[in-house]
Structure 1
Amino acid sequence: MAEIRCDICVIGAGSGGLSVASGAVQMGADVVLLEGHKMGGDCLNYGCVPSKALLAAGHKAHAMGQGAFGVSGGAVTTDFAAAKDHVEQVIASIAPHDSEERFKGLGVRVIRDYGRFIDHDRVQVGADVITARRFVIATGSRPFVPPIPGLKDVPYLTNETVFDLRERPEHLIVIGGGPIGMEMAQAHRRLGSKVTVLEGEKALGKDDPDLAAIALEHLRGEGIEIVEGALASQISGGAGDITVETRDGARFHGSHLLVAVGRKVNIDRLDLHKAGLEEENGAVRVDARLRSPTNRRVYAVGDAAGGLQFTHVASYHAGVVIRSMLLGLPSKARRDHLPWATFTDPEMAQVGLTEAQARKAHGDRLTVVRAEFSGNDRAVATGQTVGLIKVMVVKGRPVGASIVGAQAGELIQTWALAIANRLKMSAISAMVAPYPTLGEVNKRAAGAYFTPKLFENPWIKRIVRLVQRF
């Protein structure tokens, strides 16, 4: 048995763990990184990267089949296996950035095995024991598989296995109408599969309902069957012939089944109790500094820290703990400025409070401004007029923004910047956007906030009339 001593031991080589390890080692810390599965974690291998690559293939097929602006569309032949080749090529091109070789080159000691705590300052990994000044738990999450009767007896897919398919599903049934379920539904529909989505409550239920309705109407228009209030109660059948029965007695038949109902944090094998660590809502209990209140040596980032489960949140958490661990700064994690996006077509994006949340928090102090994509000249020129932005404003400052439409994931960044830095709406309205761009939608929304103050205020009109006398 070897004893290893270091400044920081990072458990998990996903986005958060890699960001902590690379930042810490380059700032002079002695770092050990543990990873028992794949470098790059879920995002690179099963999540963000392969899903967006498959969506891109579906988008290309859809665009070629539609035809517009004097260009004829028509029947499109799709090669599902070739689309999966594209997915693999994208992963392979990004993988070197997250590779063991790169991190060893930075000076990180990488151990390809799982670790578990054996006391407050030691982790067992294989036959070795690591003693560290600080630990960072960055173990990510995995698909949650619900205990639906019959599910374990039929072949089913999750985001960890769906990308292994080489033959196009004839009819894909998706259980779960959240971001993962809807993205995979649209990608497979556009690549030629029949798709049914079963959602126990409301599809895209975490998003603003007005915006979700726009996206869902578009998805249904492409032929995706979306059934809300359809809680799966029994699953039966076998490979190529699967039946899902819902609580109300409806039955749905398909060739393949994808389960996309949520995520479960990977903390099972860590033996947290031996380090005096506590769980909270299925994750590691941490304070605003992402530090365990019961073992001050231990931090958690990303999914392991609870809260929003996104790659960019894990990277943000990494910066928070690096400032705290290495520089001794009073660094705390915020949540109000963290954006997210769903990459369906049209895209959906959110930062800060939704309208319902803002009304509950701020009441009569809230002003909601809206801008339609149909009023944007670039959207008109490109035929992307389906879209809407809402901005929630309190005392002149945005506290939330919701967008559905083309490039929503890009457009939301303006509002993420504004909320992160407590900018006022005047800062957005003062921005000069190049014409014609979709970015003008943001400026139009900011202008909508000032419109009643300028054009509906009788004092403004009196001042203007007075000035004109001179």
Structure 2
Amino acid sequence: MTIDYDVVIIGGSLAAYYAALAATQLRATVALVEPKVDYGFTNHHALTEIGKLAQKLNDAPSFGIHATHTDTSEECHISMAWQEAMLYAQCVASNLQEQHSPAILAASGVDIIVGNGQFQSSPQLTFAVNNRILRARSYLLASGSRPEIPDIEGLQATGYLTLSNIWQSFQRGILPKNWVVIGGIPQSIEIAQTLARFGCSVTLVVKHPYLLRNIDPDIAILLQAQLEVEGVRVFTERPVTQVRLIDDKKWIQAGDKAIETDEILVATGQQPNIESLNLAKVGVKWHQRSLVVNDKLQTTNHRIYACGDVIGGYDFANIANYEAKIALNNALFFPRLRVDYRFVPWAMFSVPMVAQMGLTEAQAKQQFSRDEVLVLRQYFKTVAAAQLRNETTGMCKLIVLNNGEILGASIFGAEAEELINLIALAMSQKTKVKDLANLSFVYPSFSEILEQTAREWGKQRLNSNIALQEFLEGFFHFRRNWNL
């Protein structure tokens, strides 16, 4: 069989673009097949940034975003400033789209093919699209995902929005006044907070005990408190059982609560875009929300790799790109690289931000003896930069072993996305927590929180070592009484 490409990448996701560009830089021949050009990923972040802008400019009427309510309308009419903010977001999204445009990839040597295709197994493994047969040594699935709609009685008949179409709804210029956001994923929390910052009444309904399943409970409590301070009603452990339309009003039954609302946003999770790819015919298995892959990111057909939210997990671009890097190298060369998520951070763009990596306190105490694990905490109110910027809400939490090895970190506070990157570097290079404590960060800066938290390791070690305390006390007593 004649090989047309070294790798064929299927999907229009950011991870697919990242992998295609990386393949050309390695001088590989690559085709990118995308069913349609979709840049929805830029709109969500632009929207959350508008929410931050709304909050920061709240005390500046000449440049702020204002919501006015009338007794005769149940809609939140957004002022001219909202329209200007939307224009700003559209410009940002347009700039980001340009950076990831098919033209840029094509100029780099990527063969861009727009269309829907599917795998064929006979006589050899190929991918058919637009009456073309693409032959490659290996294939990479990065087709992304779409919102998963839960089976809730009355939901389809009542109507709802999802993360994929809420942006188009906002562009109409009028926001509904009352919202119910269903789902405990990062994007649902970000959207709920953003809507509240534009003056809407928002209820966030989560079926789990905490806002996110994988978040540190200490951080989850602080985050929920912050949302409630900003006006978001949060109901945890309240599965939605039914939705009804009564007198042109939407009603949600969440546990024992009946909630009236103007609009419903469903953001409970994602499901992979794989239905039309004929995967079963080529021996690729999937389970519920994700493809089945090994730690080399090979599917059950070892010539087909996968990355991004098509293999499950939260929809984070940096994690998808990390997986794309591993999968692409394995696909182009020898499959020897394995994913290791211990050193890959993630961040949620709430305000303040949440960032986490490695093991949580509970996970560490499950894997190691409780006596081996130390939990180090420090609060942002002790940081000079936080005081200067009036962003004192937050906490830094490090999970370490007695020997100083860093197992994980959870940060809730300003600049958390940058701080977690420093922890990621330290963990990947096996830097001990005492080395963080010995660094001299720029003052004032938010990095000071890492130094302060790391110093807690020495304090806890000393407090638990009675013999060392007695030695130090005796040593300094001797020095004080030593006749110089």
TM-score above 0.5: yes
Inter-partner Cα distance in structure 2 for 1:72 and 1:304: 45
Q: Which one is further off, 432-441 or 340-349?
A: 340-349
Q: Deviations over 1:294-339 (max 9, x none)?
A: 4221111112233453111111112212332334372111111121
Which residue identity does 1:123 align to in structure 2? F
The answer to whether the 8 Å contact 2:184/2:205 transfers is yes
The answer to whether the 8 Å contact 1:374/1:380 transfers is yes
Task: Quote the residue 1:118 is aligned against.
Answer: 120
Inter-partner Cα distance in structure 2 for 1:341 and 1:407: 10
Q: Is 1:187 the counterpart of 2:194 in the alignment?
A: yes
Q: 1:463 to 1:324 in 2, by over 3 A?
A: farther
Inter-partner Cα distance in structure 1 for 2:184 and 2:294: 31
Give the 5 Å matches for 1:44-443. Answer: 45-47=39-41, 49-66=42-59, 76=66, 78=79, 79-119=81-121, 121-165=125-169, 166=172, 167-202=174-209, 203-237=211-245, 241-248=249-256, 250-292=257-299, 294-328=300-334, 330-364=336-370, 365-394=372-401, 395-443=403-451
Q: Is 1:15 the counterpart of 2:14 in the alignment?
A: yes
The answer to whether the 8 Å contact 1:134/1:298 transfers is yes
Q: Deviations over 1:53-73 (max 9, x none)?
A: 222222222223358xxx999
Which residue identity does 1:285 align to in structure 2? V
Instruction: Give SS of 2:350's match.
Output: coil
Which residue identity does 2:311 align to in structure 1? A
Task: Quote the residue 1:25 is aligned against.
Answer: 24
Inter-partner Cα distance in structure 2 for 1:279 and 1:205: 22
Q: 1:193 to 1:5 in 2, by over 3 A?
A: same
What TM-score does the superposition give when structure 2 sets the normalisation length? 0.88
Q: 1:427 to 1:114 in 2, by over 3 A?
A: farther
Q: Which one is further off, 379-388 or 255-264?
A: 379-388
Give the 5 Å matches for 1:34-49. Answer: 34-39=33-38, 45-47=39-41, 49=42
The answer to whether the 8 Å contact 2:353/2:413 transfers is yes
The answer to whether the 8 Å contact 1:373/1:385 transfers is yes
Q: Deviations over 1:90-147 (max 9, x none)?
A: 1111111111111110111110012211116211113111111110011111111101
Inter-partner Cα distance in structure 2 for 1:50 and 1:326: 33
Task: Quote the residue 1:42 is aligned against.
Answer: none
Corresponding residue pairs, total? 457
Q: 1:239 to 1:276 in 2, by over 3 A?
A: farther
The answer to whether the 8 Å contact 2:139/2:331 transfers is no
Which residue identity does 2:265 align to in structure 1? L
Q: 1:272 to 1:329 in 2, by over 3 A?
A: closer
Inter-partner Cα distance in structure 2 for 1:73 and 1:279: 50
Q: Percent identity?
A: 29
Q: Quote the offset at 1:148 in angstroms.
A: 0.6
The answer to whether the 8 Å contact 1:208/1:355 transfers is yes
Instruction: Give SS of 1:400's match.
Output: strand
Q: Deviations over 1:160-208 (max 9, x none)?
A: 1111122112111111133111110111111121111122223234311
Instruction: Give SS of 2:369's match.
Output: helix
The answer to whether the 8 Å contact 1:11/1:34 transfers is yes
Q: Quote the offset at 1:85 in angstroms.
A: 2.5
Inter-partner Cα distance in structure 2 for 1:4 and 1:193: 56
Instruction: Give SS of 2:445's match.
Output: coil
Inter-partner Cα distance in structure 2 for 1:460 and 1:336: 37
Task: Quote the residue 1:452 is aligned against.
Answer: 460
What TM-score does the superposition give when structure 1 sets the normalisation length? 0.91
Q: 1:308 to 1:225 in 2, by over 3 A?
A: closer
Q: Quote the offset at 1:466 in angstroms.
A: 5.5
Inter-partner Cα distance in structure 2 for 1:118 and 1:136: 15
Which residue identity does 1:46 align to in structure 2? G
The answer to whether the 8 Å contact 2:66/2:82 transfers is no
The answer to whether the 8 Å contact 1:137/1:299 transfers is yes
Q: 1:61 to 1:295 in 2, by over 3 A?
A: closer
Which residue identity does 2:433 align to in structure 1? M
The answer to whether the 8 Å contact 1:199/1:231 transfers is yes
Which residue identity does 2:85 align to in structure 1? A
Q: 1:239 to 1:407 in 2, by over 3 A?
A: farther
Instruction: Give SS of 1:317's match.
Output: helix
Instruction: Give SS of 1:168's match.
Output: strand
The answer to whether the 8 Å contact 2:12/2:142 transfers is yes
Inter-partner Cα distance in structure 2 for 1:353 and 1:31: 37
Q: Which one is further off, 449-458 or 256-265?
A: 449-458
Q: Which one is further off, 109-118 or 321-330?
A: 321-330
Q: CA RMSD in A?
A: 2.4
Q: Which one is further off, 79-88 or 282-291?
A: 79-88
Structure 1 unmatched runs, 5+: 40-44
